[in-house]
């Protein structure tokens, strides 16, 4: 059992190093309810101050499996077309940790008839750490040569939206960096590489009580396979969302979201892994999200939240 645990830890560690060379952006199943996580142009697009906290535990039961905690808050600036936002995150896989704080701003260009095109920028600082000396075998250090680095990070995006439709293009990491770790047993490199995201969705009315919202997210990272998320959510009585997603090469996901009040919502997603040797050793992935909207105008009715 100890040998199996050690072997799995090493596999996750090596996978994490390869992962850091391919896709550093945290993976979220409920991206359609928290678009700021993938596109800074979403900043301030709601007529309220929106605060969202999300926690994700991947491959439950596997030592060293990825886990992520994030916090987002953004708001439009009264009587202007500007929006401002702040986000913080922690992402861990094996002995690798990433922390980040980011500020975003967006300009929303009115196009008439409720249509808008938003231009967004984000900048911040990320800390990357590889604590390779924590991997031990028979009370001996298996790896040596820890890595740590502070790196600036910049993002940009476009976001077009109406009351029923949205489409966005974003580059959540504009800059490329690489940092080598000195290690006699393992040659490891942490790279910050450019990402490209394309997302879109539409709300269809089925009847007075039911609405259908399909979404698609395409992720492109140099050196990594193209990844596509296909999703469909059903909104029941403007209160309860239930949906199903398929993430190419990775998982089938169940999503639920409840609008507890006009301001408070709670979401949960469960990912059933497909085709991964490591993920089959665990019991799937869990993601919890809580969001609250502070109305900027107490006399104004908060409309049903088709797009968060």
Q: Find tokens 């992962």 and name the residue.
A: 19
* Among 116, 114, 147, 130, CA closest to 42: 116
Distances (CA, A) of 287 to 166, 265, 306: 24, 14, 20
**Cα gap 69→98, rounded to integer Å:** 11
Contact (Cβ atoms closer than 8 angstroms) between residue 207 and residue 216 = no
Q: How would DSSP label each residue in 79-120? A: TSSEEEEEEEEEEEETTEEEEEEEEEEEEEEEEETTEEEEEE
Instruction: Please name which of 179, 164, 159, 142 lies closest in space to residue 39, comparing C-alpha atoms.
Output: 159
Q: Is the dihedral of CA 299, 77, 172, 56 positive or negative?
A: negative
Both tokens of 94, joined, read 């094996």
One digit per residue, the tens of pLDDT, for the chain of length 308 reads 444 444 444 444 444 444 443 445 677 899 999 899 999 999 999 889 999 999 998 877 777 778 899 999 999 998 899 999 999 999 988 778 889 999 999 999 999 888 999 999 999 998 888 776 666 555 555 555 667 788 888 999 999 999 899 999 999 888 776 655 544 444 455 566 788 999 999 999 999 999 999 999 999 988 888 999 999 999 999 999 999 999 987 889 999 999 999 899 999 999 988 865 655 566 788 999 999 999 876 555 444 455 55
For residues 91 and 68, give the distance between their C-alpha atoms in angstroms, rounded to a whole number.
4
How many CA within 13 A on the CB side of residue 100?
Answer: 30
pLDDT in the model for residue 241: 96
Distances (CA, A) of 90 to 39, 224, 280: 18, 22, 25
The half-sphere exposure of 257 on its side-chain side, counting CA atoms within 13 A, is: 31
- Distance, in Å, from the CA atom of 117 to the CA atom of 286, rounded to the nearest integer, reads 33
pLDDT score, position 16: 43
* Cα first-last separation, the chain: 45
How far is it, in rounded angstroms, from Cα 157 to Cα 143?
40
Looking at residue 205, what is its pLDDT?
Answer: 94
Question: How many Cβ atoms from other residues are within 10 Å of residue 33's Cβ?
Answer: 24
- The DSSP 8-state label assigned to residue 18 in this structure reads H
Which residues have C-beta within 8 Å of that of residue 134, sequence separation ≥ 6? 95
pLDDT at residue 298, as a whole number: 58
Residue 234 pLDDT: 97
- pLDDT attached to residue 192: 66
DSSP helix/strand/coil, 33: helix
Token pair of 199 as six digits: 């997302």
pTM of the model: 0.81
């Amino acid at each position: 059992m100890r040998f199996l645990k050690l072997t799995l830890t090493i596999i996750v560690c090596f996978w994490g190093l390869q992962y850091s060379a391919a896709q550093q952006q945290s993976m979220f199943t409920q991206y359609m309810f928290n678009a700021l996580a993938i596109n800074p142009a979403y900043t301030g697009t709601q007529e309220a101050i929106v605060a969202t906290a999300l926690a994700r535990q991947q491959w439950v039961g596997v030592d060293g499996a990825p886990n992520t905690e994030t916090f987002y808050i953004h708001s439009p600036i009264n009587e202007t077309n500007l929006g401002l936002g702040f986000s913080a995150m922690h992402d861990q896989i094996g002995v690798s940790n990433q922390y980040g704080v980011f500020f975003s701003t967006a300009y929303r260009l009115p196009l008439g008839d409720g249509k808008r095109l938003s231009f967004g920028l984000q900048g911040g600082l990320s800390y990357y750490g590889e604590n390779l000396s924590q991997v031990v075998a028979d009370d001996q250090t298996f790896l040596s040569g820890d890595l740590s680095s502070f790196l600036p990070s910049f993002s940009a995006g476009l976001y077009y939206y109406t009351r029923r439709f949205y489409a966005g293009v974003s580059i959540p990491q504009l800059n490329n960096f690489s940092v080598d770790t000195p290690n006699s047993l393992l040659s490891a490199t942490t790279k910050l590489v450019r990402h490209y995201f394309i997302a879109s969705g539409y709300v269809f009315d089925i009847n007075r009580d039911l609405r259908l919202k399909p979404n698609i997210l395409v992720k492109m990272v140099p050196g990594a396979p193209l990844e596509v998320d296909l999703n469909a959510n059903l909104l029941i009585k403007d209160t309860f969302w239930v949906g199903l997603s398929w993430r190419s090469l990775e998982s089938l996901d169940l999503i639920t979201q409840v609008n507890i009040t006009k301001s408070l919502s709670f979401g949960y997603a469960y990912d059933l892994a497909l085709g991964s040797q490591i993920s089959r050793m665990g019991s799937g992935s869990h993601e919890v999200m809580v969001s609250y909207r502070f109305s900027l105008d107490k006399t104004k009715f908060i409309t049903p939240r088709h797009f968060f």
